[in-house]
């Protein structure tokens, strides 16, 4: 299963996707130039395919499946009202044209909750409140297995017959072999356990660095201010220059921290912190790193 989650926060846009986009306009937004502006904006960062709304609704064109990273619709407010009756089939077409986690953007859509409801019923995950000028929704990583309708208010059949079938058990009824229920893919284990994303992280420069990272770090260090932790005074931190730092260190060796976070604990320490693995401590407290810790 993919560890990628659906970012569902109200304002935040999911990781910008630069895959192919589909831009859908109408006669009126093409005439007033708003459609062209949208297409130009999008083209700056990705491939854009253009479509007119009528052609999709009339079935004059068939959209490819799981093709686009995003779909952008720009219509006049009145046109949004007009398409509402047909929006169910429109949205499900667009849903299947989007790649999983792809997004749909409806520009200048009226604050009409019916649009968002229709999006939800088509399987989208609505990301923006209904009142913003652009409605944004996302195709979830897990697609609903069926297209869903609202729950019927009442069950259709008389439940007693089914109840009898379910609860009355004839002694000696054979059971099915539950293993036959599984498909080949059910039997397979996930190929590789997901233990790490393997995303590159910034490393510290090696001792004999030749790639330039050491110089970069040296430059950063020169420019940086230093925070001294000083428990003997007020327990507060203060910024000093590198020069002053050396003086202070030479006169009274204390715990120093170039980021001011070391004493807060692992959660706030950087990847190269020498205190990693130790509990949080008080500023100024003398910390000893025991290198011979193995008691095996």
Partner 1 sequence: MSEPLILFATESGNAQEAADYLSRQLKRISLPCRSQNVESYSPDELIHETVVIFLVSTTGSGVEPRAMTPLWNMLLRSDLPADLFDELHFAVFGLGDSSYERFCWAAKKLSRRLGGLGAIEICERGEGDDQHMLGTDGALFPWTESLLCVLAGLYDVEPPVESETQYTLPSPRATLSLATAVGPSPVSQAKASLSRDSTYHNATMKTNARMTADDWYQDVRRFEFTFDEDIEYQPGDVAVLHPLQLADEVESFLTSMGWGNIADEPYSITHVDKTQSMPSHVPAQTTLRELFTRYLSFTAVPRRAFFLYLRHFTTDSIERDKLDEFLSSTPEGAEDLYDYVYKVRRTIFEILGEFHGAREGLRDRLDYLFDIFPPIRPREFSIASCAGETGRTRQLELCVAIVKYRTRLRQPRRGLCTAYMADMKPGDQVMIGLKKGFIKLPDKKDTPIICIGPGTGVAPMRSLILQRISEGIYNNTLYFGCRSTKKDHHFQSEWESLAKEDKLTYRVACSRDGPEGVKRTYVQDLIEQDKARIWELIEAQGAWVYISGSSNKMPTAVKASLALCAQECGGMVETEAKEYIRTMEREGRLTEECWS
Annotated binding site for [4Fe-4S] cluster: 259, 262, 270, 273
Q: In Å, what is the CA distance from 287 to each residue of 46, 253, 256, 272?
A: 53, 12, 11, 17
Contacting residues for 282 by C-beta, under 8 A, at least 6 apart: 231, 235, 263
Residues 86-115 that bind partner 1 (CB under 8 A): 113
Binding track, positions 187-226, relative to partner 1; x by CB under 8 A: --xx--xxxxx-x---------------------------
Site for partner 1 in 151-170 (CB under 8 A): 151, 155-157, 159, 162-163, 165-167, 169-170
Window of 38-46, 82-90, 143-151, 220-228 that interacts with partner 1 by CB under 8 A: 143-151
* CB closer to partner 1, 78 vs 191: 191
Local structure of residue 143 (DSSP, 8 states): P
The rounded distance, in Å, linking the Cα atoms of 266 and 279 is: 7
Annotated binding site, which residues?
A: 191, 206, 209, 211, 259, 262, 270, 273
CB of 296 to partner 1, least distance (A): 6
Question: Which residues in the 11-30 window bind partner 1 by CB under 8 A?
Answer: 15
Is-contact 46 67, C-beta < 8 A? no
Binding status of residue 183 toward partner 1 by CB under 8 A:
yes
CA 288 – CA 257 distance, rounded (Å): 15
Asked if residue 85 binds partner 1 (CB under 8 A), the reply is: no
Contact present, 113 and 79 (Cβ < 8 Å): no
User: Which residue of 44, 78, 211, 293 would you call a contact of partner 1, by CB under 8 A?
Assistant: 293
Q: What is the smallest separation between the CB atom of 141 and partner 1, expressed in angstroms?
A: 6
Q: Report the residue count for the chain.
A: 296
Short-list 69, 34, 74, CA closest to 53: 74
Pairing of strands 237-240, 226-229: antiparallel
Which one of residues 52, 121, 213, 240 is an interface residue with partner 1 (CB under 8 A)? 121
- How many chain residues touch partner 1 (CB under 8 A)? 76
- Of residues 150 and 222, the one with the C-beta less far from partner 1: 150
* Secondary element (H or E) of residue 290: none
Measure the CA–CA gap between 171 and 121, rounded to whole angstroms.
44
């Amino acid at each position: 299963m993919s560890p990628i989650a659906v970012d569902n926060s109200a304002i935040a846009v999911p990781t910008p996707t630069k895959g192919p986009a589909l831009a859908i306009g109408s006669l009126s937004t093409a005439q007033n130039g708003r459609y062209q502006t949208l297409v130009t904006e999008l083209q700056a960062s990705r491939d854009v395919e253009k479509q007119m709304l009528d052609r999709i609704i009339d079935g004059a064109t068939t959209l490819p499946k799981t093709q686009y990273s995003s779909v952008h619709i720009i219509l006049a407010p009145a046109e949004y009202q007009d398409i509402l009756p047909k929006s169910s089939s429109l949205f499900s077409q667009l849903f299947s044209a989007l790649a999983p986690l792809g997004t749909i953007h409806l520009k200048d859509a009226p604050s009409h909750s019916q649009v968002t409801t229709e999006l939800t019923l088509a399987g989208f995950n609505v990301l923006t409140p209904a009142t913003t000028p652009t409605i944004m929704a996302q195709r979830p990583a897990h697609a609903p297995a069926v297209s869903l309708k609202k729950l019927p208010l009442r069950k259709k059949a008389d439940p007693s017959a089914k109840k009898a079938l379910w609860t009355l058990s004839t002694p000696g009824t054979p059971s099915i072999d539950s293993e036959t229920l599984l498909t080949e893919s059910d039997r397979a284990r996930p190929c590789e356990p997901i233990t790490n994303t393997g995303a590159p992280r910034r490393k510290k420069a090696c001792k004999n660095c030749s790639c330039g990272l050491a110089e970069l770090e040296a430059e950063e260090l020169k420019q940086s201010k230093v925070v001294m932790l000083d428990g003997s005074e007020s327990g507060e931190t203060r910024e000093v220059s590198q020069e002053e730092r050396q003086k202070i260190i030479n006169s009274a060796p204390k715990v120093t921290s170039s980021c001011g976070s070391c004493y807060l604990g692992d959660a706030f320490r950087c990847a190269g912190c020498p205190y990693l693995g130790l509990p949080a401590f008080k500023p100024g407290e003398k910390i000893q790193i025991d290198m011979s810790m193995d008691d095996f």
